[in-house]
Chain A
């Protein structure tokens, strides 16, 4: 397999194109500008459409339109820009429109800082817009994983007719790493995917029952409730079937760290350091942060595990709440945190672990 050296943002864009994404609309914001820039060069080569929208709000609405016409579509932004997109994301979820978006997240709240952070966890996993909808949220910790997840995200989105979020911190987005890119879908495959979406609003023969009817709401509260019930069943099924989690040296661990994204990568180095000294330290890495791998943490042997260390680049801690739900008070949970665009330091995690073993 051929390996190429690519920046996270560009690799995400290329993976999307290979998955059949033929529409992208976005708006500049650091640190994700390489995504729209890459798409602006790449999409015309494959007969796709790139638009720089007049705002994040307009861009997500364009994606809502393009995806409603059956085209695999994507947008991206960074934290405050994602807040602006929450309107359209909620519309996509309500109307059950498949689309993929990436949050190359930075320090917050507010305009925050342009440096990497993991401060949008709650927004990503609990409430990405009004109305209580959920999405699968994939959190890469390497550029390769960002590629593989972006490619897979389009399949999840189409399978569920629901948005999928790539929650990617600014480190993964701006770092260069060698990656193996997935096979490019052929024009025929891309067309077949589009044509399979019979629900798309592209014009139909006059036929009231079968018209393309993209409605992010309904006048009938009974129909609204029914839609929400169906969505709730889908969310439960994700918890059963789609959780992805990495266990690293957890088997005999007495201290288990829980971390995702770039924090998990740093935590892994720390595990290796302590293991070299014979210390029983492990890591649970949520790969899907929604559905969250509660079971992986719930099923730990709490006669053996003395403490959990929640490592995340957010103050206050956010994933901590999900970790606590799984631990259920069976052992102490400590945190190792940084925030505001400061990168987690290996030494800080080393010290935090040292206090617990």
Chain B
């Protein structure tokens, strides 16, 4: 029999995913592994992981990685890339990491046009710590620290990181994607590949914001979480290329 599908070499052959059932983290890390394998660059890649569910990924990758202090992934990646320009360095960060505690590191790395790639997982909530309010939580969406839901007067508004970074001159490529449909999953794959290729070509800062789900902390089963993502998340966070100087 012909083998037409195999686990990517970018993921350890001997592990079982510890992400919650239906969580798109699994999809995205599979896509990253596939892209690295396809581009034949696994052996020069270093993944810089944020804290939270993103950090779980360290168990699954077959290649070099480093866990950064919460929010500091872009600074850690800066240090690795600048001192070792031959490595392919990407960060994998959630919304709390990238857009709240790490906002200064994220914006500053983008503003310097650091030649790194950022995979930013936006699911509108803190996952591992149990569903607290994130900078990307939707208005009205409940969180364990916002029991009445996000209220604009109290918590401000959801932050749109692609659009915020688009105010800067230096970034090369900013795209928002999702993995809610096969088409969009393929688009995410393409976007990740582009972000990595930009880095190989020395074009500077690229970010792919992937709008994902968190069935566990949204309190929805995987299918319902998809509906919520389609109806609510993607209304707030429209998909598309925000900037492409590649």
Interface residues of A (CB under 8 A from B): 22-23, 25, 49, 51, 53-55, 57-59, 61-71, 73, 87-88, 91, 95, 201-206, 208, 211-217, 219
Within 8 A of A (CB), among B55-85: 58-59, 61-69, 72, 75-84
Q: Are B43 and A204 in contact (CB under 8 A)?
A: yes
Residues in chain A near residue B81, CB distance under 8 A: 65
Residues in chain B near residue A202, CB distance under 8 A: 44, 46, 64, 80, 84, 86-87
Residue of B nearest to A207 (CB): B62
Q: Are A68 and B9 in contact (CB under 8 A)?
A: no
Q: Are B68 and A64 in contact (CB under 8 A)?
A: yes
Q: Are B68 and A69 in contact (CB under 8 A)?
A: no
Q: Are B67 and A217 in contact (CB under 8 A)?
A: yes
Residues in chain B near residue A71, CB distance under 8 A: 83-84
23 sample A-B contacts, Cβ–Cβ < 8 Å, listed by A number = A51-B82, A59-B75, A62-B75, A62-B78, A62-B79, A64-B69, A65-B76, A65-B83, A66-B83, A68-B66, A69-B84, A87-B69, A201-B80, A203-B45, A203-B63, A203-B88, A204-B63, A212-B64, A214-B66, A214-B67, A215-B58, A215-B66, A217-B67
Residue of A nearest to B9 (CB): A206
**Chain A CB within 8 A of B108 CB:** yes
Q: Are A65 and B104 in contact (CB under 8 A)?
A: no
Residue of B nearest to A204 (CB): B64
Q: Are A214 and B65 in contact (CB under 8 A)?
A: yes
Q: Are B59 and A203 in contact (CB under 8 A)?
A: no
Residue of B nearest to A219 (CB): B59
Task: Other than A65-B66, A66-B83, A203-B43, give 20 A-B pairs with Cβ distance below 8 A.
Answer: A22-B83, A51-B79, A54-B105, A57-B72, A57-B104, A62-B76, A62-B78, A62-B79, A62-B82, A65-B77, A66-B79, A68-B76, A68-B79, A88-B69, A202-B84, A202-B86, A206-B63, A212-B64, A214-B65, A214-B66
**Chain A CB within 8 A of B12 CB:** yes
Residues in chain A near residue B192, CB distance under 8 A: none
Within 8 A of A (CB), among B111-152: none
Q: Are A203 and B104 in contact (CB under 8 A)?
A: no
Interface residues of B (CB under 8 A from A): 9, 12, 14, 42-46, 48, 58-59, 61-69, 72, 75-84, 86-88, 104-105, 108
Cross-chain contact of A69 among B45, B62, B83 (Cβ < 8 A)? B83
In angstroms, how far is the closest chain B Cβ from the Cβ of A28?
A: 15
Across the A-B interface, give the 5 residue pairs with the lowest CB-CB distance, nearest first. A65-B79, A203-B44, A212-B64, A61-B72, A61-B75
Q: Are B104 and A55 in contact (CB under 8 A)?
A: yes
**How long is the Cα–Cα vector from A109 to B190 in the complex, in angstroms?**
52
**How long is the Cα–Cα vector from A202 to B80 in the complex, in angstroms?**
8
Q: Are B58 and A213 in contact (CB under 8 A)?
A: yes
Q: Are A69 and B79 in contact (CB under 8 A)?
A: yes
Q: Are B63 and A61 in contact (CB under 8 A)?
A: no
Residues in chain A near residue B66, CB distance under 8 A: 65, 68, 95, 201, 212, 214-215
Residues in chain A near residue B43, CB distance under 8 A: 203-206
**How long is the Cα–Cα vector from A88 to B14 in the complex, in angstroms?**
32
**How long is the Cα–Cα vector from A4 to B25 in the complex, in angstroms?**
58
Q: Are A212 and B65 in contact (CB under 8 A)?
A: yes
Cross-chain contact of A208 among B12, B72, B88 (Cβ < 8 A)? B12
Which of B43, B44, B69, B88 has most A Cβ within 10 Å?
A: B69
In angstroms, how far is the closest chain A Cβ from the Cβ of B88?
A: 7
**How long is the Cα–Cα vector from A216 to B67 in the complex, in angstroms?**
7
In angstroms, how far is the closest chain B Cβ from the Cβ of A205?
A: 5
**How long is the Cα–Cα vector from A205 to B62 in the complex, in angstroms?**
9
Q: Are A61 and B79 in contact (CB under 8 A)?
A: yes
Residues in chain B near residue A65, CB distance under 8 A: 48, 66, 68, 75-81, 83
Residues in chain B near residue A219, CB distance under 8 A: 59
Q: Are A91 and B69 in contact (CB under 8 A)?
A: yes
Cross-chain contact of A213 among B44, B65, B105, B108 (Cβ < 8 A)? B65
- Given A54-B108, A201-B46, A212-B65, verify A64-B87 contact (CB < 8 Å): no
Residues in chain B near residue A87, CB distance under 8 A: 69, 72
Residues in chain A near residue B84, CB distance under 8 A: 69-71, 202
Residues in chain A near residue B62, CB distance under 8 A: 206, 208, 211
Q: Are B64 and A201 in contact (CB under 8 A)?
A: yes
In angstroms, how far is the closest chain A Cβ from the Cβ of B152?
A: 28
Which of A65, A66, A73, A202 has most B Cβ within 10 Å?
A: A65
Residues in chain A near residue B12, CB distance under 8 A: 208
Residue of B nearest to A23 (CB): B83
**How long is the Cα–Cα vector from A216 to B62 in the complex, in angstroms?**
18
Residue of B nearest to A213 (CB): B65
Residues in chain B near residue A51, CB distance under 8 A: 78-79, 82
Which of B12, B77, B82, B108 has most A Cβ within 10 Å?
A: B82
Residues in chain A near residue B42, CB distance under 8 A: 203, 206
Residues in chain B near residue A211, CB distance under 8 A: 61-65
In angstroms, how far is the closest chain B Cβ from the Cβ of A26?
A: 12
Residue of B nearest to A210 (CB): B64
**How long is the Cα–Cα vector from A70 to B86 in the complex, in angstroms?**
13
